[in-house]
Structure 1
């Protein structure tokens, strides 16, 4: 908290000294002075074409190429990115395989909704329960290429919640599909004096394909911006209520013969999770003199969680508060940015006995406190066809674990400095070569850093690594062709892996050294340019990787040379998007390669392929636009695992449960009306 207080006090001083008169702001975009549009654009995470790191962009059209709620189908089209989705509330996002060892959630990557970190102080990220109407676009930076947002080994996922341009508009979407699934979205966008206001509502209900998989989710959001003189005030708020049953994973026999079943005793005790989450962020972007500007965001998160499992009932109350401040100076051929981000989070975790409908006896109650402080800087230089970027991130992370009524166990990791450099060279207006080298790290989560007796594991260390990228980008044929190719190599120390003592008890250990290498490629080509309401586009994305233990001995077993489990050896996605007047057709084919299920490489899942499609029809009247659509997922009804659990435990004679079955053939249809 002391870090946050210092930032706020310094920022108040900067705001007071940094005000400038309206006459000193030059709004001509050809001027070297920063303009208001540029100030606002900084929140949208725009990246120049000469950015040396590897990144991918997904616009609103791509996001809505499937149903109205499954983000995994869209993210899996991005090379290097995989979102395994066991259920609507159980998933795991990995970038270049980083985060594959986290059992039931997303870790090792960072995500932002606007300027609000979606990643908790514990390092856990949940993007799947943000409604589609709160996602205007996505931008993913792979690897530790952006020190401005931490130096995570996996990368950063930015969710832009703001729709460009002023508008007075109301839109309503209603959709129904297989397994009793019903979803709805409502958006109200209003122009107000000096800014805009948006209100969004969404709901999702499903009976589920499997036993014990009912799901209910409600979202409400308020987004807005107001111009205050030369400054812009932005605010974001999102509320989410979730009640979802947990069918858990299956053993191989049930996965093959009875995929609808709930795993283990989860169906018997009707395991579920229920939570309320609030996100709030208030930010101000204000210009200073001489091409300088500053942005300050204060954010907070509150979450209450109840989860009933076969082995105990979990109750968790979490609150976090943070500040992010970024200062920018823009010159004719260079840009300098720097700032700080700090967060403090307090979790109170209670475990109870399972006693039917009633809450059982209290087993334990612990308090966890995690705080971090990031100091970051970035320098960009551009001269003709050549550009150079240098960045640095300094991190300090602290933990405190207080078991029961004890005094608490404090621990502070050493300061980690993560530098990075990148260069790009444009051969022409259409082709460029890119290269970057950067250091990244991931601190252990609270679950990984806690021993089974509740004490802090002072022997565990943050995982650290160095990534090298070389890439090529090409735009050709009047921008109808876009090609990207990236080759990367990563060397990691102290890889964090999960050590399991039982189904409910697991903690982290360090696995020595690992190496990761891969290739990412994407091609988009407009077969027919948009003309007379006709268009046709084909797309291809491909990702292949090799990931091995260089040094890892566990319980006397040497895993050197083995492949890391939970990472498919390749992913392939082929897409087609065609439009003929009011009709459009989207087709998507995916092939997911094989992956190992355990560190010993004794078990292997062979992978799968599936085909999906969607047809839309647009109707237009003065002031009203209507879109009717129908889609099908898993057209050939193949049986596949949509998520796997690596190193699944086997206790008491039970068979290990590695597999989450994916949905069989399912259809959906809906209508969207915009006024």
Structure 2
């Protein structure tokens, strides 16, 4: 009843606000003949210069990306941060023009991660853009090669379906998967009701770019101490139809095929992407099969209304080799954990996301964006200790108003919105009888062990405003209100050995403010500082005690993020230099204490302090008409400690945070040429990391070097060929690609800390693109 009341209350409030602003701005400004938008996120681009190539007359787009021409002809479209484009326009026809970002001028692009479009260099938070060029530096199989080049971000990958992402150390204590980091796929949440996130199954070739907000930024995105990952799918292109096919092969039985079809008219476009990926895997019990299907359509219904549809479906079956002990890691890294090999453990899941977004322009100063979404995930996972069956369905709505106005003749832009989310989670476990049948038969389902149904709800009401105090100074303020609740129903028959674990758990409302300031020293250099608050919800499993009762004394982890930074584009944009220094202070540290082989309880055990430095540099070594040679280096320095950490009789206060490397260095050289040859070489150094809370055991540091080169050519006016070859870990370094922290030993067996990384391996492929 409480959430029904909230839903109705906030829906009425939003409708009331919309009605007020409709009447306030009822006198619409003139909508011009043409519009220019960002091809990735669809954001209207202001101050774009449109030049008639014959008369050299020019005009600039207004705040909403509109411009008007008096005569037909060919026009050159120019804006810093974007690639130039020549288009043919007619003065009496409404045209929508899409511009692609220029990866060498990222500080100048318009970001939309905070819902208030602005240049990256004027942002008051640490935001990193992963462009399509960054994604194409390696193969299109695994996210970790891409994300690990981002300062402050570290993705461990034990297998294609076994990953953990941390941002500024947040999420490192989650044993399996990614937590305390929010993710969105075109405004659709990928994070479930307990704060767990999975992005590794998405098709990389369907992604235009990734915008990563680092640190607690709750004023817009709610629960997420580490930050937010915004995945922006590759938009369907207008006025163009094309077919793109790619086939890749590689080591360990890798074979992947994909088809990317684009159908675009003047106001409607459709993009369909299908891919099929198979790998035998480097290790035993490591086979991987995944099919992806994506559909994205954009429809410009009128000069005021835009509608987009997004559908994503993933069908995955991946076997699980799991972690191994030190002896196996050093002497037989290909081996799977003995019990996982005997049970032939695997994950079989189907995952779908569907969303509709409506963008309505009330006037030149006010617009509304509303997204309605639903998703499902069904999975079946035989493990040695039991068989887990899960079914999740989710739905929600995210709506916001964006206003552009002036106060005291200074620009004031603000957004006000609400996100409502609800998911229903059902889980059952069964006895695994693999030990009672002949070896090699795999898992066999036995008696039911548990049966739960869980309802998870939250809402985020948020507000953020940017006020340009002067041409150089912008102040950002934000506020988020979150409330989360769980309702658990134990559907297993009760007995003396099985207590009823049904119950409800509701957090107190959490208010998270933010204050940020950015200052432009010049057109090419800026400074920013911010203070922001965030939190991460507790999963219902953490609240359950062994006797079946819910621990109502648990508190969610909360934290304050303090940072300063600078963004610079120097020497006529030849050098891009960004740096950030931060402190993230987390209290009510939530610890999962193991009580049995597959049993954990949650406790609040203390406080952590995350101090860090992030540095990113890109430099154009040689810039000629025919080719470009550039280099980059990213550096992350982590000083993360337990300020207070008492777990039962153990006092770990003052120790280093578990599962995070001391430093990470990424560097590389890129070559692009007009005559078709391209390539890159990438180097990564990962420092040692503590594997136990006592800091008695550390992983070894390691260095990886990858290389990729290729050739692309226009076979004719419509057909383009691209062939490529790559080598990963070219010096055949032995390393652990993922660590299981605080691994315990059972039955006299050594603890299993290590997921071995792949030795030297290759991939190769061919890509054909045909434009109709």
Q: TM-score, normalised by structure 2?
A: 0.84
Structure 1 residues 523-538: aligned runs within 5 Å: 523-532=617-626, 534-538=627-631
User: Displacement of 1:451 after TM fit?
Assistant: 3.1
Report the CA distance shift for 1:154/1:193 in structure 2 as closer, same or farther (over 3 A). Answer: same
Whether the 8 Å contact between 1:39 and 1:293 is mirrored in structure 2 is no
Deviations 1:458-480 (A, max 9, x none): 22211001110010111111101
Report the number of matched residues: 674
Does 2:300 match 1:227? yes
CA distance in 2, matches of 1:407, 1:603: 37
| Farther off after superposition, 45-54 or 265-274 | 45-54
Does 2:650 match 1:557? yes
Whether the 8 Å contact between 1:502 and 1:649 is mirrored in structure 2 is no
Deviations 1:503-535 (A, max 9, x none): 321232212111110100011000112512x11
CA distance in 1, matches of 2:529, 2:19: 41
Q: Secondary structure at the match of 2:694?
A: coil
Whether the 8 Å contact between 2:237 and 2:262 is mirrored in structure 1 is no
CA distance in 1, matches of 2:485, 2:748: 40
Does 2:244 match 1:171? yes
| Farther off after superposition, 494-503 or 605-614 | 494-503
**Cross-structure match for 1:315:** 389
Report the CA distance shift for 1:16/1:386 in structure 2 as closer, same or farther (over 3 A). Answer: closer
Structure 1 residues 5-404: aligned runs within 5 Å: 18=22, 24-26=30-32, 29=46, 34-35=64-65, 47-48=118-119, 49-145=121-217, 147-163=219-235, 165-166=237-238, 167-192=240-265, 194-229=267-302, 230-289=304-363, 291-331=365-405, 333-356=411-434, 357-382=443-468, 383-404=470-491
Report the CA distance shift for 1:108/1:39 in structure 2 as closer, same or farther (over 3 A). Answer: farther
Deviations 1:335-367 (A, max 9, x none): 010101010111011000113454211111011
Does 2:534 match 1:440? yes
Does 2:699 match 1:623? no
Deviations 1:439-488 (A, max 9, x none): 11111123323334554322221100111001011111110100011100
Q: Secondary structure at the match of 1:612?
A: strand
5+ residue gaps in structure 1?
none
User: Displacement of 1:16 after TM fit?
Assistant: 8.0
Q: Secondary structure at the match of 1:328?
A: strand
Structure 1 residues 503-522: aligned runs within 5 Å: 503-522=597-616
Does 2:584 match 1:490? yes
Whether the 8 Å contact between 1:202 and 1:218 is mirrored in structure 2 is yes
Report the CA distance shift for 1:469/1:377 in structure 2 as closer, same or farther (over 3 A). Answer: same
**Which of residues 427, 442, 450 is equivalent to 2:544?**
450
Report the CA distance shift for 1:11/1:25 in structure 2 as closer, same or farther (over 3 A). Answer: farther
Does 2:769 match 1:674? yes
Whether the 8 Å contact between 1:196 and 1:224 is mirrored in structure 2 is yes
Whether the 8 Å contact between 1:240 and 1:277 is mirrored in structure 2 is yes
| Farther off after superposition, 242-251 or 442-451 | 442-451
Report the CA distance shift for 1:453/1:265 in structure 2 as closer, same or farther (over 3 A). Answer: farther
CA distance in 1, matches of 2:689, 2:193: 30
User: Displacement of 1:47 after TM fit?
Assistant: 4.4
**Cross-structure match for 2:678:** 584
User: Displacement of 1:314 after TM fit?
Assistant: 0.2
Whether the 8 Å contact between 2:669 and 2:680 is mirrored in structure 1 is yes
Q: Secondary structure at the match of 1:136?
A: strand
Structure 1 residues 461-480: aligned runs within 5 Å: 461-480=555-574
Whether the 8 Å contact between 2:665 and 2:686 is mirrored in structure 1 is yes
**Cross-structure match for 2:55:** none
Q: Secondary structure at the match of 1:82?
A: strand
Q: Secondary structure at the match of 1:614?
A: strand
Q: Secondary structure at the match of 2:191?
A: coil
CA distance in 1, matches of 2:365, 2:213: 27
| Farther off after superposition, 307-316 or 139-148 | 139-148
User: Displacement of 1:148 after TM fit?
Assistant: 1.3
Report the CA distance shift for 1:454/1:105 in structure 2 as closer, same or farther (over 3 A). Answer: farther
Q: Secondary structure at the match of 1:517?
A: strand
Whether the 8 Å contact between 2:236 and 2:270 is mirrored in structure 1 is no
User: Displacement of 1:221 after TM fit?
Assistant: 1.1
**Cross-structure match for 1:658:** 753
Whether the 8 Å contact between 1:26 and 1:34 is mirrored in structure 2 is no
CA distance in 2, matches of 1:524, 1:182: 33
**Which of residues 565, 569, 576 is equivalent to 2:662?**
569
User: Displacement of 1:635 after TM fit?
Assistant: 0.2
Whether the 8 Å contact between 1:612 and 1:631 is mirrored in structure 2 is yes
CA distance in 1, matches of 2:220, 2:768: 39
Report the CA distance shift for 1:225/1:497 in structure 2 as closer, same or farther (over 3 A). Answer: same
| Farther off after superposition, 382-391 or 38-47 | 38-47
Report the CA distance shift for 1:355/1:162 in structure 2 as closer, same or farther (over 3 A). Answer: same
Whether the 8 Å contact between 2:259 and 2:273 is mirrored in structure 1 is yes
Deviations 1:404-451 (A, max 9, x none): 266931111011111010101111111111110111111112332333
Deviations 1:314-339 (A, max 9, x none): 00111111110111101251201010
RMSD: 2.2
CA distance in 2, matches of 1:451, 1:184: 47
5+ residue gaps in structure 2?
35-45, 47-59, 67-95, 100-109, 435-442, 493-499
Whether the 8 Å contact between 2:218 and 2:534 is mirrored in structure 1 is no
Report the CA distance shift for 1:468/1:22 in structure 2 as closer, same or farther (over 3 A). Answer: closer
User: Displacement of 1:163 after TM fit?
Assistant: 3.1
**Cross-structure match for 2:696:** 602
Deviations 1:151-199 (A, max 9, x none): 5210000111133742311101110000001112211111145221111
Q: TM-score, normalised by structure 1?
A: 0.96
Q: Secondary structure at the match of 1:133?
A: helix
Report the CA distance shift for 1:478/1:32 in structure 2 as closer, same or farther (over 3 A). Answer: closer
User: Displacement of 1:8 after TM fit?
Assistant: 5.4
Whether the 8 Å contact between 1:54 and 1:145 is mirrored in structure 2 is no
Report the CA distance shift for 1:542/1:151 in structure 2 as closer, same or farther (over 3 A). Answer: same
User: Displacement of 1:387 after TM fit?
Assistant: 0.9
Whether the 8 Å contact between 2:669 and 2:681 is mirrored in structure 1 is yes
Larger RCO, structures 1/2 (Cα 8 Å, 6+ apart):
1
| Farther off after superposition, 405-414 or 339-348 | 405-414
| Farther off after superposition, 328-337 or 246-255 | 328-337
| Farther off after superposition, 258-267 or 42-51 | 42-51
| Farther off after superposition, 550-559 or 244-253 | 550-559
Deviations 1:218-262 (A, max 9, x none): 010110111222201111110001100010001111111110111
